[in-house]
């Protein structure tokens, strides 16, 4: 089976002034908790040149958030061969992934039963700061690790709207990029009851 997740991006001012609701409806309560059969998972991040390799390291820092939060129960090996990877990450030129919606990150997961087979993440290259990229990558890795639900608490990493720090204003907005919270970890633990004990 295949499923798509997408992170929507909105300008923080617009988001807070408008009270924009999360763009995606919550998934059904019976959505299966998915899991990888074992760790480490093999991760490929597209890095064709030096500049993008820096970007790849920022993306992997997003995955490291899950490694740290899980006390290394979640772990990974980086592979340079996309065919050998469980999770692939690719960049899309431009500010957004789609022409008609401010989507900055997207994850497609393939699974059988409750076992993940492959996950593919796409990230927009031109959106936001490096902190935004790391936060978006961390959110998408949450899906790639098996989380099918979003949080309704905007302080959680798995809240579905990523906030762009508005570089037009000059000063970064006071809100810190989201990081893996205890609630985010509980969402992940639903797929790994032995490993993570929700
Ligand atoms: Zn999401």
| pTM of the predicted structure, to 2 decimals | 0.81
Q: How far is the CA of 5 from the centre of ligand 1 (A)?
A: 5
The hierarchical CATH code for the domain 2-10+33-185 is 3.40.390.10
Cβ-based neighbour number of residue 68 at 10 Å:
12
Q: Could you give the CA distance from residue 3 to residue 42 in angstroms, rounded to a whole number? A: 20
pLDDT tens digit string along 29-65? Answer: 556 679 999 999 999 999 876 666 888 999 999 999 9
Q: How far is the CA of 177 from the centre of ligand 1 (A)?
A: 15
Percent of the chain at pLDDT > 90 equals 40
73 pLDDT band (50/70/90 cuts)?
A: very high
Q: How far is the CA of 27 from the centre of ligand 1 (A)?
A: 11
Q: How far is the CA of 80 from the centre of ligand 1 (A)?
A: 26
Give me the residue spans of the domains in the chain. 2-10+33-185
Q: How far is the CA of 111 from the centre of ligand 1 (A)?
A: 17
Q: Could you give the CA distance from residue 132 to residue 173 in angstroms, rounded to a whole number? A: 12
What number is the average pLDDT over the span 130-153?
89
Residue from 42, 66, 26, 78 nearest 188 by CA: 66
pLDDT tens digit string along 11-23? Answer: 322 222 222 333 4
Q: Could you give the CA distance from residue 134 to residue 56 in angstroms, rounded to a whole number? A: 10
Q: With contact defined as beta carbons under 8 Å apart, do 7 and 105 qualify?
A: yes
């Amino acid at each position: 089976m295949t499923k798509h997740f997408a992170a929507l991006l909105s300008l923080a001012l617009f988001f807070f002034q408008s009270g924009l609701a999360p763009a995606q409806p919550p998934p059904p309560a019976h959505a299966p908790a998915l899991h990888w059969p074992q760790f480490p998972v093999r991760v490929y991040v597209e890095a064709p040149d030096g500049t993008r390799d820096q970007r790849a390291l920022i993306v992997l820092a997003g995955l490291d958030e899950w490694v740290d939060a899980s006390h290394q129960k979640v772990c990974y090996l980086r592979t340079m061969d996309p065919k050998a990877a469980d999770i692939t990450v690719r960049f899309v030129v431009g500010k957004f992934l789609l022409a008609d919606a401010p989507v900055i990150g997207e994850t497609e997961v393939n699974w059988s039963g409750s076992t993940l087979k492959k996950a593919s993440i796409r990230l927009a290259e031109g959106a936001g700061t490096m902190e935004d990229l790391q936060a978006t990558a961390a959110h998408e890795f949450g899906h790639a690790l098996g989380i099918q639900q979003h949080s309704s608490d905007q302080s959680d990493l798995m809240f579905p709207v990523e906030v762009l720090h508005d570089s037009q204003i000059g000063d970064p907005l006071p809100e810190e990029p989201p990081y893996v919270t205890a609630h985010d970890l509980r969402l992940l633990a639903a797929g790994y009851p032995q490993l993570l004990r929700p």
